[in-house]
Amino acid sequence: MSDAVAAFSPDATPRARCAPILPLAVRDLVLRYGQTTMLERLSFDLGPAGCTMVMGPNGSGKSLLLKLLHGLMVPTSGRIDWSGHAPSDVTARHAFVFQKPVLLRRSVAANIDFVLKVRGKHRNRCDLLLNHVGLSHKADQPARLLSGGEAQRLALARALAVDPEVLFLDEPTASLDPASVVAIEAIVTDARSRGMRVIFVTHDMGQARRMADDVLFLNRGRIAEHSRAADFFPEPQSQAARDYLHGRIVV
Amino acid sequence: MRDAFGLALQLVISGDADLLEIVQLSLRVSLTATAVACLIGLPIGALVAIGRFPGRNAVLVLMNALMGLPPVVVGLLVYLQLSRSGPLGFLGLLYTPTAMIIAQTILITPIVAALSRQVLEDLHTEYAEQFRSLCLTKLQTVQALLWDARYSLLTVGLAGFGRAVAEVGAVIIVGGNIDHLTRVMTTAIALETSKGDLALALALGIILLIIALGVNAAVQAVRMTASRQAYV
């Protein structure tokens, strides 16, 4: 674990001097494509620490919400306030892991090295990061020949390489085997324990129970419920969440 | 036809000095033109691939249209610039290999730019969201795309080289087909044909074809190696 500490710590000092970007306040967020409303007047607050699970049926707008918060998309109206910063101003202080990892056509190590280089980080952290995600032995292999679980761990290592304050995870364990899920969760849990704010989209109920501090439940582009995990799982307030948790089809 | 094959074989085996000189000059001119065209065309292709600006569609149409530039027209335009009375006449480049390189570069730069634009735009579609998430600058994006598409871009370069080494119209106008100075495979073939020595012309054509096949095979081998490593 000392390797992991070294992997994360060198760039911590400059960040301490930056104005904080948490807590996050979202007010009346609307996203429309033409006549179709994808997200309808979302308002919620996220505190400075912990893991928020964004849940809800397919098409409820979870991924869109993450991309809006990260600054990859611009809302039709409403406000996303990262403690006084607009999303696009703080994108560099976030990291995003996509459901299908986009890996460069290079070796495993070169994928990390590329990010360290473009973000002006210490290049010697590449080995430490690969060791942290258990991919040291594959450092010289082509990244695109990795298995699904390995590819996602590499994507996570690449995300951690930028020392993000907020880590967005968009269904990173979808279609992975249980061992890979455990490995990914361990890395994310470790990152959270170091103070990284995690915003995690998942359909995996067990995973949500294991990792969530709070749950933001979306249904048809609206917030059906935002509760502490300890309240959400035993006693969901909304009918949509109750149906979802009980495996009933939510349409 | 059999005579032509026999003659081609004889020329190659005997190591005919004149033939070697012609082959060498052909390769030097066309490879240099390809390299220069790649230096100019790849960044243009990359910038158009990732750029969104007014008139982009018009630029795409222009780039694609320029792929079909007639070599004789390019030759004529370069000739007008380099001839003694032209604006660049003082350089004394007309009827030199440099003039031939310039003409071929102009001919194939649009090919390199247009084809690389397509390759890089496809790759960018895959990478764009990740790159935006990483806050890459335009320059960093272009560099990363060019590097990651390097094996596909080899084929683009090859298309440019193929066009350059096979064309005759431009090099004959600006090179003049001067023996031991600007005679290349295609101009030699044209000359021998006009002289009626069809067997020699055909033999030279066969050798040109073999060179083209060799270059293609080499690039294909590189691409297959890269493909096995999932770098394509």
pLDDT tens, position by position, A195-241:
999 999 999 999 999 999 999 999 999 999 999 999 999 999 999 99
Band (A251; pLDDT cuts 50, 70, 90):
low
Verify whether the Cβ–Cβ distance A144 to B230 is below 8 Å: yes
Kindly list the structural domains of chain A, giving each domain's residue range(s) and its CATH number in brackets, ordered by start.
Answer: 2-245 (3.40.50.300)
Tokens of B229: 């490593």
Nearest to A118 among B127, B136, B231 (CB): B136
Tokens of B163: 């066009």
| pLDDT in the model for residue A14 | 45
A118, A152, A169, best to mutate vs chain B, most B CBs in 10 Å: A118
Verify whether the Cβ–Cβ distance B136 to A115 is below 8 Å: no
| pLDDT in the model for residue B185 | 93
Give bridge partners of residue A166 from the DSSP assignment: A94, A197
No. of helices (H) and no. of strands (E), chain B: 10, 0
Q: What is the ipTM of this complex?
A: 0.89
- Chain-centroid distance of CA A149 in Å reads 16
Verify whether the Cβ–Cβ distance A105 to B135 is below 8 Å: no
Cβ-based contacts of A162 with chain B (< 8 Å): 134
CA angle (A105, A107, A113) in 5-degree steps: 100
The span from the CA of B182 to the CA of B172, in Å, is 9
pLDDT tens column, A121-164:
888 899 999 999 999 999 999 999 999 999 999 999 999 999 99
Q: Which residues of A touch B (CB under 8 A)?
A: 70, 72, 91-92, 94-96, 98, 102, 104-106, 114-115, 118-119, 142-145, 162
**Nearest residue of chain B to residue A103 (CA atoms):** B127
Q: Report, in angstroms and rounded to the nearest whole number, the Rg of chain A calculated over CA atoms.
A: 18
**Nearest residue of chain B to residue A96 (CA atoms):** B133
The span from the CA of B77 to the CA of B124, in Å, is 36
Which 3 state secondary structure label does DSSP give B82?
A: helix
Instruction: Per-residue pLDDT tens, chain B, 232 aa: give them.
Output: 677 778 778 887 887 888 889 999 999 999 999 999 999 999 999 999 999 999 999 999 999 999 999 999 999 999 999 999 999 999 999 999 999 999 999 999 999 999 999 999 999 999 999 999 999 999 999 999 999 999 999 999 999 999 999 999 999 999 999 999 999 999 999 999 999 888 888 888 888 999 889 988 988 898 888 887 777 6
Question: What is the 3 state secondary structure string of chain A?
Answer: CHHHHHHHCCCHHHHHCCCCCCCEEEEEEEEEECCEEEEEEEEEEECCCCEEEEECCCCCCHHHHHHHHHCCCCCCEEEEEECCECHHHHHHHEEEECCCCCCCCCEHHHHHHHHHHHCCCCCCHHHHHHHHCCCHHHCCCEHHHCCHHHHHHHHHHHHHHCCCCEEEEECCCCCCCHHHHHHHHHHHHHHHHCCCEEEEECCCHHHHHHHCCEEEEEECCEEEEEEEHHHHCCCCCCHHHHHHHCCCCCC
Contact of B230 with chain A, judged by CB distance below 8 Å, is answered with yes
Contact of B232 with chain A, judged by CB distance below 8 Å, is answered with yes
Residue B136 corresponds to which amino acid? Answer: L
| pLDDT in the model for residue B219 | 87
Contact of B138 with chain A, judged by CB distance below 8 Å, is answered with no
Which 3 state secondary structure label does DSSP give B122?
A: helix
| pLDDT in the model for residue A250 | 56
Contact of B227 with chain A, judged by CB distance below 8 Å, is answered with no
Nearest to A102 among B127, B135, B136 (CB): B127
B120, B135, B151, best to mutate vs chain A, most A CBs in 10 Å: B135
Contact of B139 with chain A, judged by CB distance below 8 Å, is answered with no
In this structure, what DSSP letter does residue B167 have? -
Cβ-based contacts of A166 with chain B (< 8 Å): none
| pLDDT in the model for residue A1 | 42
Kindly list the structural domains of chain B, giving each domain's residue range(s) and its CATH number in brackets, ordered by start.
Answer: 2-228 (1.10.3720.10)
Cβ-based contacts of A160 with chain B (< 8 Å): none
| pLDDT in the model for residue A151 | 96
Nearest CA-CA partner of B152 in B217, B222, B218, B228: B222
The span from the CA of A74 to the CA of B206, in Å, is 60
Tell me the whole-structure pTM to 2 decimals. 0.86
pLDDT tens column, A37-76:
999 999 999 999 999 999 999 999 999 999 999 999 999 9
Band (A10; pLDDT cuts 50, 70, 90):
very low
Tokens of B51: 């750029």
pLDDT at A101 over 50: yes
Contact of B191 with chain A, judged by CB distance below 8 Å, is answered with no
Beta strand pairing status for A36-46 and A24-33? Answer: antiparallel
Residue B21, Cβ density class (10 Å: 0-12 exposed, 13-18 middle, ≥19 buried): middle
